[in-house]
Amino acid sequence: MARSDGESRVLLRAGSRTAWCARIRSYGPNGEPAAIPEQELHDSFGGVREVFRHGLIAALGTNETGQDVGSEDLAVSYLDMGLGDYALWFDIRDRRSRAARWLSPKVTWEAAVELLIGEASRDIVALLRATAMGVFSNAEGLMIRPVPGPDGMQSRVEISLPGQPAARLDSTLWDWSRSPQGLETVREMFAALRASEVAYVEVILYAGSPQEKTIRLDATPGVLNFIQGAEPGV
């Protein structure tokens, strides 16, 4: 079944060259594929969309694309690929006027969208890893510090744990994710893990490319406490 922004219909721009895709696979306690129940799936993908939208806001604040793109133009679609296997696509709807499209070549529009989606996706991956460091580990030795970025000496933040690669993301997105609204949205993003059928989830990024990476998220007591409202370690 194809879904897009909560509606059942053909995937929106899923075949577009500007779309960014992520795969999510869920497993039971014995490592068997496990379907995510409808409510948890809806909540989780809703959280993903809102977090990505704020990542797009941060990217728009950093880049002057001149393409009349807004955060509400974000399109998120998902497809059930089989038992416990889901694909998500992120893209930007082209809502420009006919005149604007005529004045701006398609290749220029696609380059701008690729830049924004690429930057937002990198920040979302970093936020996912940073949250995992604080919530999915005991956070011992966790360090958070401002680092230079395109918008100034402290426009980005770095989160690190000994022995793990550091996660860097836009400080505006990080600050939002620590706000009451942001924390609630991040909790929704992990909603799939509150399902009793799901023991862990794998998020596969850049699938099929040399940059492919997998982030594993386990439904540990600390994670479930966070989803239910406990403060994160970051």
* Average confidence (pLDDT) over 20-31: 93
Mean pLDDT of the chain: 81
Q: Which region among 117-121, 123-127, 130-134 has the lowest average model confidence (pLDDT)?
A: 130-134
Tell me how many domains the chain contains.
Answer: 1
Is position 124 within any domain?
Answer: yes
Is position 34 within any domain?
Answer: yes
Is position 81 within any domain?
Answer: yes
- Domain with 67 in it: 2-141+180-227
More confident residue, 94 or 194: 194
Which tens digit of pLDDT belongs to each residue from 196-231?
Answer: 999 999 998 877 777 788 888 999 888 898 898 887
Q: What is the pLDDT of residue 150?
A: 64
Q: What is the pLDDT of residue 117?
A: 86
What 3-state class would DSSP assign to 121? helix
Is position 147 within any domain?
Answer: no
pLDDT band at 9 (very low <50, low <70, confident <90, very high): very low
Is position 152 within any domain?
Answer: no
Is position 212 within any domain?
Answer: yes
Is position 94 within any domain?
Answer: yes
Which tens digit of pLDDT belongs to each residue from 53-76?
Answer: 999 888 887 665 555 666 677 888
Is position 41 within any domain?
Answer: yes
List 75's β-bridge partners, or say none.
91
- Helix 180-189 vs helix 106-135: angle between axes, to the nearest 10 degrees? 90
CA distances from 28 to 33, 91, 101 (A): 6, 31, 48
Q: What is the pLDDT of residue 14?
A: 43
